[in-house]
Amino acid sequence: MEPIKTLAGGSLYSPLLGAELRQVGEFLRVIDPTTGLPFLTPMETQERLTDTEGRLTDVQGRLTDAKEQLSLEKRGRLVMQEQLSEEKQARLAMEETLRDALARLAERNPSA
């Protein structure tokens, strides 16, 4: 087994772990060789998990609210489309009535 080497800054390199051991505050931390950052402790991992779960709950709540709003807007749009369709039908019926009335007037008074 290779001995542990002292690195610049007083940290140690463990060939067994393939990682640097560095004093961070009052703790000896294992440093991720790919990022240069300390691996998370179980407590840090739990804190991040709790934070992430809280953010996820917030996002899920906003998503639910957005879905409800979308549903309301869709229903409102359908009501408006129905009203427009009814108004169009009423307008067409009124135009037909006016055409008929004009045609009857023209028949009564052909010189006009």
pLDDT of residue 14: 87
Rounded average pLDDT over 86-110: 93
pTM: 0.56
DSSP assignment letter at 13? E
Residue spans of the domains in the chain: they are 1-39, 42-112
Backbone φ and ψ for 5, nearest 5 degrees, come out as -95, 145
User: Which burial class, exposed, middle or buried, applies to 31 when counting CB atoms under 10 A from its CB (0-12, 13-18, 19+)?
Assistant: buried
Rounded average pLDDT over 60-74: 97
Chain centre to alpha carbon of residue 8:
46
Rounded average pLDDT over 77-95: 96
At 1, the pLDDT band (50, 70, 90 cuts) reads low
User: CA-CA distance, 19 to 30, in Å (whole number)?
Assistant: 7
